[in-house]
Structure 1
Amino acid sequence: MVIFCTLFDSYYLDKGLALYRSLEDCTENFKLYIFSFDDKSFEILQKLELKHAVLTHYSEIEDDELLKLKKERSKAEYCWTCTPVIIEYVLRHYKEQNCTYIDADLYFFRDPQILFDEIKEAKANIVITEHRFKDNQSGRRLCKRSGKYCVEFNYFDQSENAWEALTWWKNKCFEWCYHLYEPERMGDQKYLEKFPKLFQGVHELQHYGGGVAPWNLGQYKLCRIESGGPVLTDKRTGSEFRLIFYHFQNIRYLSENVVNVSSGTRSVKLKDAIYRPYLAAIEQRRKELKNYGVFFSVKKVYSSNKLIAFLQGNILRFKVKSITDIYQLKQFREAEKK
């Protein structure tokens, strides 16, 4: 049984449900601990009776220290602060032998068991996933800003090694976790760069199919589409790999009917193979959630800095690097009606 945990509120409910359904489509051998960060999402998830999900209300993990931090940080920054907290809760409270944190905006195209086979073979206690930025000036700048590793697929078991790393990470996030770029920290993420130096049993995920995202998609091309999903080719080495999950970060709605996916590639075939299934899934989930009175804002804001928040909500979402990154959602809604 593969054990995952994630967190989201009603604002991310469409993405969280798309994540859950993607896992359900790929495998029966999983359990997803969902930490609901507002009352509405918790109530709706209870009504949906998700077979492979275990629900936890945000109040179950909040103590006086977290409640204090909640007042000081933006909603997104507070969620980042709580990432190690929910992993710890699953290991300590539910007593699972291991737990892998996954971001709510991931989507699985294939059974993730191959990733856990790698973890077992490596005898890992802790797993971190590289951003795999391009090896050029732009990629090095991104790595310097955001860190070598991404908080998206992070495994910890019950070993002393894992507990030592998890406790250290949690303490660091409590100390500082903001959407600001500093030499040794950015949100909850750059702390992971210390893991290989400070702790034993740390493994960097090697399978390229785990961790494909807009920041590295330009390094790959579409080889073919199998029944299980896209097969990609690394442009540098020519090696093929099957896409396991994709991180749909930075999708921005220009309006209720138009979305800018910010894919990081100019290949229409590649982005269609990955983004079309996801956009269709999101539209399905949004249609489902309308029955529960859930509607979504087109603005995406996650900084506690008022100026940055304004730019995120009103300027940055209109930044378009490729015209083929623009998708009309009408086509997915019409397909759903048929």
Structure 2
Amino acid sequence: MADNITVRAHAYCTYFDSGYLPRALALFDSLQRHGDDSPIWVLALDDETADTLRALDRAGLHVITARDLEAAVPELAPLRAKRTRMEYYFTQTPLLMRYVLDVLGTPGSVAIYLDADLFFFDSPIRVLDALGEDRSASSSTVTRRSSRRSWRSTANTTSAG
């Protein structure tokens, strides 16, 4: 786990492997470009991703591995053999969010899951505004939905554990 964690009202989390690394870096840049320097927690799904992100030594970027998450949630590791690779990845989403909230440890903190291939063209504060003043919801997801005609982002309140 990363040292010197800055506690913020919200933190972003995502996961990806080296195939999505360029897109995720664009996501990180788009957040910073619009003035959001909130912590970003990444579940690196392969060693290349973990090594590359750690080498960046980017402020506010916290890298964990599947082994880290499995150590924090012992019930997770046995599921690896019972699920496809993609099912196993999806299983980790709410656990990653819970992990981040537990590390932040501040009542009212919010973990926001972002698909690694998102890109912000405006301030992400719009997503936070969608949560409203009552931050009793502990987590939200922002995913990209596609159709032949349009791209749009949606925010959904979810249960993270």
TM-score of the superposed pair, with normalisation by structure 2: 0.74
1:3-22 matched pairs, under 5 angstroms: 3-22=11-30
Q: Which has the higher contact order (CA 8 A, sep 6+)?
A: 2
Contact 1:119 1:127 in 2 (8 A): no
Closer, same or farther: CA 112–66 of 1 in aligned 2, 3 Å: same
Q: How does 1:180-329 map to 2 (within 5 A)?
A: 213-215=145-147, 218=149
Q: 1:59 aligns with which of 57, 67, 72?
A: 67
C-alpha contact (below 8 Å) 1:70/1:78 kept by paired residues? yes
Structure 1 alignment gaps of length 5 or more: 130-151, 154-210, 221-242, 247-338
Amino acid at match of 2:75: E
Report 1:33-72 matches (<5 A): 33-62=41-70, 63-72=73-82
Aligned residues: 142
The C-alpha deviation readout for 1:246-279, integer Å capped at 9, x for no partner, is 8xxxxxxxxxxxxxxxxxxxxxxxxxxxxxxxxx
Percent identity, aligned pairs only, is 27
1:118, distance to aligned residue in structure 2 (A): 3.2
**CA deviation digits over 1:77-108, x for unaligned, max 9?**
11100001001101112325221111112111
RMSD, matched Cα: 2.7
Instruction: Name 1:117's counterpart in structure 2.
Output: 129
1:68 shift after superposition: 1.4
> Is the radius of gyration larger for structure 1 or structure 2?
1
Give deviations 1:271-295, integer Å, cap 9, x for gaps: xxxxxxxxxxxxxxxxxxxxxxxxx
TM-aligned CA distance change 1:47 to 1:212, over 3 Å:
closer
Q: Structure 2: which 5+ residue stretches go unaligned? A: 1-7, 155-161
- Whether the 8 Å contact between 2:43 and 2:63 is mirrored in structure 1 is yes
Q: 1:31 aligns with which of 31, 39, 57?
A: 39
Query: What is the correspondence of 1:163-182 to structure 2 with a 5 Å cutoff?
Result: none
Residue deviations 1:200-240 (CA, integer Å, cap 9, x gap): xxxxxxxxxxx66323x7369xxxxxxxxxxxxxxxxxxxx
Q: Equivalents in 2 of 1:117, 1:44: separation in Å?
A: 33
Q: How far apart are residue 15 of structure 1 and its match?
A: 2.1
Choose the corresponding residue for 1:100, options 84, 91, 112: 112
- The separation in 2 between residues aligned to 1:218 and 1:93, in whole angstroms, is 40
* Counterpart secondary structure, 2:123: coil
CA distance in 1, matches of 2:101, 2:126: 22
**SS in structure 1 opposite 2:55?**
helix
Report deviation, 1:24.
Answer: 1.6
SS at match of 1:65: coil
When the two structures are superposed, what TM-score results if normalisation uses the length of structure 1?
A: 0.38
SS in 2 for 1:126: coil
